[in-house]
A and B are shown apart, each in its own frame.
Chain A
Amino acid sequence: QVQLVQSGAEVKKPGASVKVSCKASGYTFTDYDINWVRQATGQGLEWMGWLNPKSGNTGYSQKFQGRVTMTWDTSIRTAYMELTNLRSEDTAVYYCARGYTTIRACDYWGQGTLVTVSS
């Protein structure tokens, strides 16, 4: 079965960086996109960007341009999202979600990674 397993919770100081991983299993990693979505406590969902492991393409929300980098390692079926220059407003749960291109929907989601930014 399709699974996306994310790395554990992180606590960071303002100005630091965080790198969250998302390990895929149960499907051919290069056949689907990976999207990154975040959710502040009690708030809605916010799309950060996507990557396509086959084409090598990435796309970022303008809001995070310059601060976010999405990468992957096909050999270990893992995608990464790195966010730099963290501020308190970045405290949120970060999700990876598989993007099914044909239907353009996020069909499977990771369990989420809580990133807390606090001095």
Chain B
Amino acid sequence: DIVLTQTPLSSPVTLGQPASISCRSSQSLVDSDGNTYLSWLQQRPGQPPRLLIYKISNRFSGVPDRFVGSGAGTDFTLKISRVEPEDVGVYYCMQATQLPLTFGGGTKVEI
């Protein structure tokens, strides 16, 4: 199974300041079709996960442009340009290049 390792585990942030989360994969996430199926999810307290980013850098419908995904191969990053109060929660990376789907351990973003 592909292992996704997220750092940091916890990220204290200041409102209006940037935040960055790293996700490293145990093997390349480039699929045979040339796409890289790495997505980012946000889980606010008491809520189900919500899709933010798919295929490394594509924002899902309704996601603010302060969320930016980047990376390639085995190393990926989610950046929040200016943290807002509603950004508090746990962020997960997820890979769907290979079954089983796997998730990173999560990064808690807190003010």
Contacts and interface: CB of A to CB of B under 8 A. Distances in A.
A80 interface: no
Given A44-B92, A44-B105, A103-B58, A109 B48 contact: yes
A46 B50 contact: no
Q: Report, as a range, how many residues of chain A touch the other chain.
A: 20 to 34
Contacts, number: 61
A75 B18 CA distance: 47
Interface residues of B, number: 24
A47 B105 contact: no
Contact of B103 (A44, A100, A103): A44
Interface string B99-111: 1111111100000
B51 A106 contact: yes
Interface string A44-86: 1111001000000001011000000000000000000000000
A105 interface: yes
A58 B55 CA distance: 23
B48 A111 contact: yes
Contacts of B39: 103-106
Contacts of B96: 104-105
A28 B39 CA distance: 23
Given A45-B92, A47-B100, A62-B100, A103 B48 contact: no
B94 A106 contact: yes
Given A44-B92, A45-B92, A107 B51 contact: yes
B60 A45 contact: no
| 10 closest residue pairs by CB, A with B | A104-B96, A105-B54, A109-B48, A104-B37, A47-B101, A45-B103, A105-B39, A103-B54, A61-B100, A107-B51
Interface of B: 35, 37, 39, 41, 48-51, 54-55, 58, 60, 92, 94, 96-97, 99-106
20 contacts: A44-B103, A44-B105, A44-B106, A47-B102, A50-B101, A59-B99, A61-B100, A95-B49, A100-B54, A103-B58, A105-B39, A105-B55, A105-B94, A106-B39, A106-B49, A106-B51, A107-B51, A109-B50, A110-B48, A111-B48
